Structure 1
Amino acid sequence: MTVQWRKSSYSGGANDEQCVELGRLSPGIGVRDSKNPDGGHLTLTPAQFTDIIDQLKRRTER
């Protein structure tokens, strides 16, 4: 299975230091550092991914 990684739409700015890419994997969603694509990835279930996104949204709303 070839994974198609997608870079965050927030990447590519002047301070492009914290970039992530997402990929659909058979066990869930892969998350990796776009600056180090061969450095491995974190695999999350869809529920875990949703939970992290919800937590990040709450954190930025403060």
Structure 2
Amino acid sequence: MTVSTVDFSGAAWRKSSRSNGASNANCVEVAVVGSAVGVRDSKSPGAGVLAFPAARWASFVRRMGS
């Protein structure tokens, strides 16, 4: 599977927990579709989606939590 062929149009998006602060200037949403994770700007959801293999996204999240 290539992430460029994943359809995120019906995905259940959720806002980043880090977007709940006093200034919501940099908000992102994530959605999981199969073995891909999509990331988009919550203020401009139609602007596009960055898609990553789920394993790569999990590695990124682990490293950011360290």
Q: Shorter chain as normaliser: what TM range? A: 0.7 to 0.9
What are structure 2's unaligned runs of at least 5 residues? Answer: 1-8
Please name the residue that 2:62 is paired with: 54
SS of alignment partner, residue 38 of structure 1: helix
Q: Greater relative contact order: 1 or 2 (C-alpha under 8 angstroms, separation 6 or more)?
A: 2
**What letter is aligned with 1:45?**
P
Identity %: 36
Residue of structure 2 equivalent to 1:17: 25
**Total equivalences in the alignment:** 58
Q: Say which of 7, 13, 26 aligns to 2:15.
A: 7
Q: CA RMSD in A?
A: 1.7
TM-score (norm 2): 0.72
Contact 1:27 1:43 in 2 (8 A): no
- Any gaps of 5 or more consecutive residues in structure 1? none
Question: 2 CA distance for matches of 1:49 and 1:19?
Answer: 17
- The structure that is helix-richer by fraction is 2
Q: CA deviation at 1:27?
A: 4.7
Q: Which residue of 2 aligns with 1:28?
A: 36
